[in-house]
Amino acid sequence: MPLDAPATEAGVRTLSYAEAIREALAQAMEADPRVFLFGEDVGVYGGAFGVSGDLFHRFGADRVIDTPISELGLAGAAVGAALTGMRPVLEIQFSDFATLAMEQIVNQAAKIRFMFGGKATVPMVVRLPAGSGTGAAAQHSQSLEAWFAHVPGLKVVQPSTPHDAKGLLLAAIDDPNPVLVFEHKLLYRTKGPVPIEPYREPIGKAVVRRPGRDVTVVATSIMALRAAAAAETLAQEGIDAEIVDLRSLRPIDTDTIVASVAKTKRLIVVYEGVKTMGIGAEIAARVAEHPVMRTLAAPIVRLGGADSPIPYNPVLEKAAVPQEADIAAAVRSLVQEGAR
């Protein structure tokens, strides 16, 4: 469903991104007794970002479980529960804290099926509030999704709309593999159309948010929204940008990217994670390895986070990650360069 789908359609309401996630959790728990949510302050408190809200009161303390502050232990608990027939959904309060849980996510969850010769499955979901823009500084604002996308055995998704937040989470809960869902903290209050019925968005499929003919902008998470807004400004200048919302880092939808680049002949990749060794390099390399490379009218551009921890000062914080104006400027420059 496109971003601007009418909210008047039968069974479609306007929900916030946080409400859409909560609805997905509720519908999954209603449909399947194996599903449970656990994590720090997800119960009575309703989640640090209010995502779980009233789920504790609706489903009880056995299915919406408040936990000690033990990220490594919790990630391992998700592995153990998933291995033995449950469908755990773990909330890591800030995605930065996943660094404390790397052992269980990377060594255990991702590898158990492979190491055991394909006999085991680890159907667990980890929800990770991520990203900058909240003034929480360097240890509460990172975008570490590329770290996990480097690990075979994991799936990594980044919904940018309430619609996808619900559809990708339900797909993640259904998936027989460990799936990490990176939710952007600045998106929790954004609103959009969300069907009331449970539905799944396919993991591993990018979506074209705005068709265009001059340049392809592949963007992740909140950058897809910023890129779409930049595209409206650029349209007034006669630049027609195609916005591809990647949605899934692993598996990655190379086909949709290549098809778009084949049409526009220009590529810019926009992501919040640190630019160096990041998502942009992977996407640029995939295009560079493809015959479509020969048809490009301009070099590939990456627009990513600065080589810096996220700073506290709001001016510095904005400067550390791509903003709408940065995207517009980069696209402008790229299109003009291609025209020379």
- Which residues are catalytically annotated? 71, 140
Q: Which residues contact 73 (CB under 8 A, 6 or more apart)?
A: none
Q: Using CB under 8 A, which of 25, 29, 86, 149 touches another protein?
A: 86
Distance CA 44, CA 182 (A): 23
173 binds another protein (CB under 8 A): no
- Contacts (CB under 8 A) with another protein, residues 269-298: none
Residue type, 184: H
CB of 158 to another protein, least distance (A): 19
Distance CA 249, CA 251 (A): 6
Residue linked to tokens 């001016």: 315
Closer residue to another protein in complex, CB, 108/132: 108
What are phi and psi for residue 187, nearest 5 degrees? -90, -15
Closer residue to another protein in complex, CB, 107/295: 107
List the 64-66 sheet strands across, edge first: 64-66, 35-39, 87-91, 125-130, 179-184, 155-157, 248-250
The 10-39 contact track toward another protein, x by CB under 8 A, reads --------------------------x---
171 binds another protein (CB under 8 A): no
Pairing of strands 241-245, 207-210: antiparallel
Instruction: Candidates 50-58, 75-83, 230-238, 261-269: pick the segment binding another protein (CB under 8 A).
Output: 75-83
Residue linked to tokens 């959009």: 192
Measure the N-to-C terminal CA separation of the chain; round to a whole number of Å. Answer: 37
CB of 167 to another protein, least distance (A): 20
List the 301-305 sheet strands across, edge first: 207-210, 241-245, 215-219, 267-274, 301-305
Instruction: Candidates 61-69, 91-99, 223-231, 314-322: pick the segment binding another protein (CB under 8 A).
Output: 61-69
Chain Cα centroid distance, residue 93: 15
Distance CA 116, CA 31 (A): 30
252 binds another protein (CB under 8 A): no
Closer residue to another protein in complex, CB, 49/97: 97
Chain Cα centroid distance, residue 264: 25
177 binds another protein (CB under 8 A): yes
72 binds another protein (CB under 8 A): yes
Backbone torsion region of residue 296, taken as left when φ is above 0, otherwise alpha when ψ lies between -120 and 50, otherwise beta: beta
Closer residue to another protein in complex, CB, 77/284: 77
- Contacts (CB under 8 A) with another protein, residues 94-133: 103-104, 107-108, 112-121, 123
CB of 53 to another protein, least distance (A): 22
Q: Which residue ranges make up the site for another protein (CB under 8 A)?
A: 36, 62, 67-68, 70, 72-86, 88, 103-104, 107-108, 112-121, 123, 152-153, 155, 176-177
